[in-house]
Structure 1
Amino acid sequence: MINVFTMSQFFQESMHISAMPGRQVSQTTTLCSMTTRPVRWFILLASTILFLVLPGTLTCSAASKPFPLYYAIVDNVNFWEKIYSTYSLNQAVIHDSDDLSKVYGVISLVDDKTPGASKINSQRQQQAIENYSRMLTRLAGGSPVTGEEKRIAALFTGPNRLQELRNAAKNVRSQRGQKERFLEGVVKSGAFLEEIRAIFRSYNLPEDLAYLPHVESSFNTRAYSKFGAAGMWQFTRSTGKLYMMINSEVDERLDPILATHAAAKYLRNSYEKLGTWPLAITSYNYGLAGMLRAREDKGSYSEIYRNYQKGYFKFASKNFYSEFLAARMVAEKLEKKYRLHRPQRVTTFKLRGFVHINQLTDHFRTTVATLQRLNPALRAPVFGGEKLVPEGYTLRLPNEQSTAKLINSFPSSRFKSSQNQNLFHRVKKGETAGAIARQYDISLSDLLSANNLDRFSTIYIRQKLRIPLSHGGIGFVPVSPVAVLNAKPKIVALSPQGGAPPVLTAAKKNKPTSWQSTDFLPSKDPTIYNVFNITTRGDFKVGQVVVQPEESLELFAQWLNTDIATLTRMSNLPRGRQISPGQKIQLFFNHVSPDKFEEKRLDFLNETEEDFFSAYTVIGKTMYTVEPGDTLWDLCYNKFDIPLWLLERYNSTINLAQLRHSQELIIPLVQQL
């Protein structure tokens, strides 16, 4: 693709300020608006020179559109355009992570359906990265010999080429092609694009923001990332709760239309605070607070792109806007060539109370599977009958001739006034899992599944177990990270040793011992989610908790029914600082009891694990030796691409907040289902 620019856009890189659509901003300064004669002559001369260097121009009016293509990111946009339209899923592009114009080679991968494909492809990519890294190191110390070395050496021509070669040896990266997946996303997008565009228009935002899900999820409404982002718009749980309902019954992140409204609100807020769409779009990946700091430090988008290196502004955030521009470009072309899915017509019914899923299927003569397809925001406990469809929920129903009449005739007597409440049991000394299951008239397998336990898990005295409610023979089994095997585990009581709490534990006779075993997930002592050292101060209680992975001040504030400012003040926490795993903090329970707080923590843990293991599985483990400069963030998000809570689960005896050189870590190997 040929990319061309005028001097207007070239100079705008350091002074481009956009406005909301239709709003005039007098501060915007482009060379198109300069009227002095000397400047005009300079522009004419410089533009002529630039036209000879770059084969074409981009008009001033195009440069002032909401999504400018800056000169600094031309190579990046070209790179991502090819990733989306040229390179297949069975190819990986080996390239420089800082300069995407430097592509060293393209390697072949095996099809994902091939047994062991994930491991094979990972090894192939890693081997290619190491080969090119060694080659670049050799070239930094000597002249090229082979034809391949000469080709790679020709990519480095500047006066500092030897230092650039040494730096490049550390920046070799692999990017898998996305051609087939992107096309599939374009075809799927037809079911939503018209409504998504209308939503953005209603918020007075540029309609082309509708192309952003191509970057986030390829319009996969069930997409779930390893780090907890869900749905077509890939909201994390903490950010999503600012705009949507996310609980044990409903996760609106999975509803493409409700999530689009949330995305519009987020993007509008980010644009109003950051002032340009390149910055606002980048904030969708890096976060609004991070981009505000970056803008304060560097000013314009181009300066941030070229020179900002603080925090975690790494490859993904740096390329996010370029990916959006490339995705929009490729999608617009494909939309003209292929038949897209059409929107599905539905009839909606706003519920006047809580109602069992069976009451709905019976009355509307439909199936649970149909309602599940039309209402992706409803979670498994609702479809299984453990929870009721919540009051106020707008239910989507098949658009049939009889639907409107059936809505009008739905009996009010079928509505309930309240939701089924979670039931918990605190384990006592001498109890067995089987006895607890019999006490509540549930199966042992349901009890283990509801608490994300398998037959090898340890159950602790004073642990809170979630008791699944009766579900009327629907066959509901809560999602579990590890399949509960048919054989019922024998539960025996152990006496306390070395001050450790007494436990009830599953029989270990058949516990897997092979290092590569994949049917065992290390259990986590759930008592660490308890509130301890509880005392009474006046009319409310005070207690301490140990922060766990994925928890935040925002979540604690929500669980305590308070705001972050009040929480920070009462807990004597420094303003502006975030909490970290392993940190012990004091909480005040003036609106919510410690017991209710614990239940919300356990619900969050279970929902996080259920979501993750509905999309991924652990296929093995490997060892890693900590190197100088390693941080917990880099290991999880950059090196191994796994969530922090999962790394902690496999290394529960290690203080991950204080990594030491040469320390051995167990790294779970994760594969998408």
Structure 2
Amino acid sequence: MVHLRFLVAATLLFCVFTGGVSPARAAHDPFPLYDCITPNVAFWRDIYGKYPSSQGVLHDKRNLGIIYEVLDIEGVWENGARERDRQRIERAKERYLEILNTLASGASPQSREEKRVAGLFGPQATPEDFRLAQDNIRFQSGQKDNFREGLIRSGSYLAEIKEIMASYGVPEDLAYLPHVESSFNYKAYSKFGAAGIWQFTESSGKQFNLDVDYAIDERRDPLKATHAAARMLRHNYEKLGTWPLAVTAYNHGINGMMRAKAAKGDYEKIFQEHESGLFKFASRNFYSEFLAAREVAKNYKLYFGSLPIEPPVNSKGVVLPNYALVSDLVKHLKVDLETFKGLNPALREPVYRGQKLIPKGYEVRVPQQGKAVRLADNIPQGILKEDQAQTTMYQVRQGDTAFSIAKEYGINATDLLRGNGLDEQAVICPGQNLRIPSPNERVVHLVASIKKKADSERVSVVIPVTSGEKMAVQGGKEPPALPVVKLQGAPVSPPPGQPLKAAAAPEAPVAQGPAKVAEPVVAKAKGAQCPSLNPATVLGNLGVEVSKKQGKSYGTIRVEAEETLGHYARWLGVRAWDLRRLNNLRYEQSLAVNQRVKIPLGKGSKQRFEAQRYEFHKEMVEDFFAAYRLVEGTRNYRVKQGDTIWSLCQNEFELPFWLIKKYNESVDFSQLKPGVRLVVPRVEAKS
């Protein structure tokens, strides 16, 4: 291997004078394999087709041809395995850092390992090369088994995805890009809120016409999301002019790539020379990953042999003319709930819990065979509703009890608790936001079989139905009514900072009569902490303070984590520019947590705004904890000079800001100062 700097210079000259790719190859393939990225494509081809998740590669992140070692790891998240793998990787990095440090001092390699590492850099390597390499050691886990599963899953929609790509006039091979984004995992959800096989964020999904709210998330529908991905990729190509740049922009963002193109000109120079705070390893390698994934997927039998590729989904879409309760629709279609859920992944759990109706205009997908198509074309008016089910939110105050809140809204305390996923182990605390179930809801349990890998387990799906309505489940039998619990007793003050648990239904049989359960209370001391509060609980002041000026109503809110002016504008039905002008905000000025913002209010808009705001935060926590779980213990981090909460969340913690904020309620994140101690939870992915 030749000297690194000579290799970079020679490769750059080759790319400049030859175009970096043979003319014949470039002329026929919209996705050329430039010679200057060939080692990277080979690296990712091995990651996808050679190394399983029980192995990983310790390598140089700028020269992917330098591989220090292939490590055996556990490669799973459960039972502390991820932490053991982390420690194993760190020990290996430390060994190579010592070797590189010795070589960087100018000393000749002595040991067998020092000679082997020096040989990776070629005979002309200098101490400076070894010094630079100390900052570039990176570990990449293998993905062969995950890629294999993705290949099997891809059969369900790959043919349709290719057709959609072709319909937008973009290369159909872009259908292989989800192998890089999500391994065709239709339930994929990142820690920062990217969802579905195309990994759209909420903002990017809405930008390309995907509906995302508490009832529906079209990012999770592989076909609807593919339409959005095709629009985005075509937009990238129209702005940037080449598919390598358009694909890279899918990861890095169109604006960043336009700046890179303006500075460097073409893909090869951007790949080799472009440096910025955001254009890092992932962006630089994204196009190489795509080329490798495309090659492995197209020739999968060479890497995996024969695979049981899933057959294409055979379904038909029927547009729903109005809102409908999912239990009513499933009953009419005579389709079992799990089949319906599998065909309609865009519908969120609140729809299946009956808290929201299937939206008007939603394209319901039903099995192509059987009576379902005919029944879907003839939905009776009796099950259609004119309006969406509205959410009423209540923020718990000091001195509140489950009983007092329920009494205020004319509902049963047990329904209040269960409607918020609370049981006898739960707590209610000041600042907690609760959803108020409608008075005519009651809870039934629909038992469904869900297979997870080789195991089967019985799970309960909670579906509220209107009182007096019968629902055919489990052989047509109506489930028994749940016991009604009347919470009794006067509030009892807990020890400081220790709120009592909120009691729910008794364990005793109904025939014994309602149990007398001590009334749940909240901490009364101002600022009392709720140490046992479920992090999935929606906290924060989501209410609106109302005032009037010159006969017009205005509201004042305090900014919560993850909120933007765009959110407020959408919830109010106004332009973000109008909110900027109302609050004297500059165009580029971003909001800070706890900042006061003034909003215009029309008739009923206060309640709608509060409800949508609550649903936005509830959606975030529900989606996150559906994909991840907290593990025991936390770690501490002391803020350093130059840290921002955004850089810490992205690079140091790899966790969303809203979750960090829950563990650090007393910290002023608008003025994060060096030395501040932050508590960071430990999180792992669910299987």
Please indicate the TM-score interval, normalised by the length of the shorter structure: 0.7 to 0.9
Q: Is the Cα contact below 8 Å between 1:426 and 1:465 reproduced in 2?
A: yes
Matched residue of 1:611: which SS?
helix
Please give the alpha-carbon distance, in whole angstroms, between the structure 2 residues aligned to 1:452 and 1:101: 53
Q: Is the Cα contact below 8 Å between 1:89 and 1:179 reproduced in 2?
A: yes
Matched residue of 1:651: which SS?
coil
- Structure 2 match to 1:118: 82
Please give the alpha-carbon distance, in whole angstroms, between the structure 2 residues aligned to 1:557 and 1:74: 47
Please give the alpha-carbon distance, in whole angstroms, between the structure 1 residues aligned to 2:402 and 2:194: 34
- Structure 1 match to 2:92: 128
| Residue 246 of structure 1 pairs with residue 212 of structure 2 | yes
Matched residue of 1:225: which SS?
coil
- Structure 2 match to 1:516: none
- Structure 2 match to 1:283: 249
Aligned CA distance change for structure 1 residues 93 and 423 (closer, same or farther; 3 Å): same
- Structure 1 match to 2:37: 73
Question: What is the number of equivalent residue pairs in this alignment?
Answer: 606
Please give the alpha-carbon distance, in whole angstroms, between the structure 1 residues aligned to 2:189 and 2:177: 16
| Residue 550 of structure 1 pairs with residue 562 of structure 2 | yes
Please give the alpha-carbon distance, in whole angstroms, between the structure 1 residues aligned to 2:149 and 2:666: 44
Deviations 1:267-293 (A, max 9, x none): 112221222222221221122222223
TM-score (norm 2): 0.80
- Structure 2 match to 1:473: 444
Deviations 1:544-565 (A, max 9, x none): 4443332233323322323333
Q: What is the CA distance between 1:90 and its match in structure 2?
A: 0.2
2:677 paired residue among 652, 664, 667: 664
Deviations 1:148-171 (A, max 9, x none): 121112233486732232222222
Letter in structure 2 aligned against 1:245:
D
- Structure 1 match to 2:616: 604
Letter in structure 2 aligned against 1:262:
A
| Residue 151 of structure 1 pairs with residue 116 of structure 2 | yes
1:492 paired residue among 498, 521, 539: 521
| Residue 624 of structure 1 pairs with residue 637 of structure 2 | yes
Q: What is the CA distance between 1:579 and its match in structure 2?
A: 3.3
Q: What is the CA distance between 1:87 and its match in structure 2?
A: 0.9
Aligned CA distance change for structure 1 residues 539 and 58 (closer, same or farther; 3 Å): farther
Q: Is the Cα contact below 8 Å between 1:385 and 1:472 reproduced in 2?
A: no
Please give the alpha-carbon distance, in whole angstroms, between the structure 2 residues aligned to 1:641 and 1:544: 32
Aligned CA distance change for structure 1 residues 580 and 662 (closer, same or farther; 3 Å): same
Please give the alpha-carbon distance, in whole angstroms, between the structure 2 residues aligned to 1:267 and 1:628: 39
Please give the alpha-carbon distance, in whole angstroms, between the structure 2 residues aligned to 1:384 and 1:328: 39
Matched residue of 2:38: which SS?
helix
Letter in structure 2 aligned against 1:390:
P
1:313 paired residue among 255, 279, 290: 279
1:526 paired residue among 534, 540, 562: 540
Aligned CA distance change for structure 1 residues 586 and 428 (closer, same or farther; 3 Å): closer
RMSD between aligned residues: 3.3
Q: Is the Cα contact below 8 Å between 2:645 and 2:669 reproduced in 1?
A: yes
Please give the alpha-carbon distance, in whole angstroms, between the structure 2 residues aligned to 1:300 and 1:161: 30
- Structure 2 match to 1:377: 346
Where in structure 2 are the equivalents of 1:106-255 lying within 5 Å?
106-110=70-74, 112=76, 115-141=79-105, 142-157=107-122, 161-242=126-207, 243-255=209-221
Aligned CA distance change for structure 1 residues 577 and 300 (closer, same or farther; 3 Å): farther
2:661 paired residue among 648, 652, 671: 648
| Residue 338 of structure 1 pairs with residue 306 of structure 2 | yes
Matched residue of 1:667: which SS?
strand
Please give the alpha-carbon distance, in whole angstroms, between the structure 2 residues aligned to 1:138 and 1:490: 68
Q: Is the Cα contact below 8 Å between 1:186 and 1:335 reproduced in 2?
A: no
Aligned CA distance change for structure 1 residues 314 and 403 (closer, same or farther; 3 Å): same
Where in structure 2 are the equivalents of 1:576-595 lying within 5 Å?
576-589=588-601, 593-595=605-607
Deviations 1:288-344 (A, max 9, x none): 222223223333222322333224222212211111111111111106743421112
Aligned CA distance change for structure 1 residues 428 and 669 (closer, same or farther; 3 Å): closer
Letter in structure 2 aligned against 1:68:
P
Q: What is the CA distance between 1:629 and its match in structure 2?
A: 4.5
Q: Is the Cα contact below 8 Å between 1:279 and 1:291 reproduced in 2?
A: yes
Task: Point out the more displaced range, 603-612 or 629-638.
Answer: 629-638
Q: What is the CA distance between 1:668 and its match in structure 2?
A: 1.4
Please give the alpha-carbon distance, in whole angstroms, between the structure 2 residues aligned to 1:104 and 1:92: 11
- Structure 2 match to 1:256: 222
Letter in structure 2 aligned against 1:211:
Y
Please give the alpha-carbon distance, in whole angstroms, between the structure 1 residues aligned to 2:129 and 2:18: 34
Deviations 1:197-227 (A, max 9, x none): 1101111111111011001100011101111
1:447 paired residue among 414, 417, 430: 417
Please give the alpha-carbon distance, in whole angstroms, between the structure 2 residues aligned to 1:234 and 1:473: 34
Q: What is the CA distance between 1:672 and its match in structure 2?
A: 0.6
- Structure 1 match to 2:5: none
Deviations 1:456-505 (A, max 9, x none): 655327x6531134255246559xxxx999798853355554xx5xx8x8
Deviations 1:417-464 (A, max 9, x none): 111111223546643123324655355485376388995655327x65
- Structure 1 match to 2:261: 295
TM-score (norm 1): 0.82
Please give the alpha-carbon distance, in whole angstroms, between the structure 1 residues aligned to 2:201 and 2:393: 27
- Structure 1 match to 2:626: 614
Q: Is the Cα contact below 8 Å between 2:318 and 2:363 reproduced in 1?
A: yes
- Structure 2 match to 1:399: 368
Please give the alpha-carbon distance, in whole angstroms, between the structure 2 residues aligned to 1:568 and 1:453: 43
Please give the alpha-carbon distance, in whole angstroms, between the structure 2 residues aligned to 1:214 and 1:489: 53
Matched residue of 2:323: which SS?
coil
Q: Is the Cα contact below 8 Å between 1:560 and 1:592 reproduced in 2?
A: no
- Structure 2 match to 1:90: 54
Q: What is the CA distance between 1:592 and its match in structure 2?
A: 7.6
- Structure 2 match to 1:639: 652
Please give the alpha-carbon distance, in whole angstroms, between the structure 1 residues aligned to 2:148 and 2:522: 56
Please give the alpha-carbon distance, in whole angstroms, between the structure 1 residues aligned to 2:104 and 2:652: 25
Q: What is the CA distance between 1:31 and its match in structure 2?
A: 6.4
Aligned CA distance change for structure 1 residues 415 and 594 (closer, same or farther; 3 Å): closer
Q: Is the Cα contact below 8 Å between 1:522 and 1:649 reproduced in 2?
A: no
Aligned CA distance change for structure 1 residues 556 and 114 (closer, same or farther; 3 Å): closer
Q: Is the Cα contact below 8 Å between 1:626 and 1:660 reproduced in 2?
A: yes
Letter in structure 2 aligned against 1:180:
D
1:356 paired residue among 302, 317, 325: 325
Aligned CA distance change for structure 1 residues 222 and 419 (closer, same or farther; 3 Å): same
Aligned CA distance change for structure 1 residues 619 and 484 (closer, same or farther; 3 Å): farther
Please give the alpha-carbon distance, in whole angstroms, between the structure 2 residues aligned to 1:168 and 1:656: 35
Q: Is the Cα contact below 8 Å between 1:66 and 1:277 reproduced in 2?
A: yes
- Structure 2 match to 1:272: 238
Gaps of 5+ in 1: 1-8, 15-29, 33-49, 51-56, 513-518
Aligned CA distance change for structure 1 residues 287 and 592 (closer, same or farther; 3 Å): farther
Aligned CA distance change for structure 1 residues 412 and 535 (closer, same or farther; 3 Å): closer
- Structure 1 match to 2:476: none
Q: Is the Cα contact below 8 Å between 2:176 and 2:293 reproduced in 1?
A: yes
Aligned CA distance change for structure 1 residues 294 and 440 (closer, same or farther; 3 Å): farther
Please give the alpha-carbon distance, in whole angstroms, between the structure 2 residues aligned to 1:138 and 1:545: 58
| Residue 100 of structure 1 pairs with residue 64 of structure 2 | yes
Aligned CA distance change for structure 1 residues 522 and 162 (closer, same or farther; 3 Å): farther
Letter in structure 2 aligned against 1:285:
N
Matched residue of 2:177: which SS?
helix
Q: Is the Cα contact below 8 Å between 1:190 and 1:341 reproduced in 2?
A: yes
Please give the alpha-carbon distance, in whole angstroms, between the structure 2 residues aligned to 1:537 and 1:86: 68
Gaps of 5+ in 2: 1-10, 447-460, 464-500, 507-516
Matched residue of 2:548: which SS?
strand
Q: Is the Cα contact below 8 Å between 2:351 and 2:358 reproduced in 1?
A: yes
Q: Is the Cα contact below 8 Å between 2:537 and 2:621 reproduced in 1?
A: no
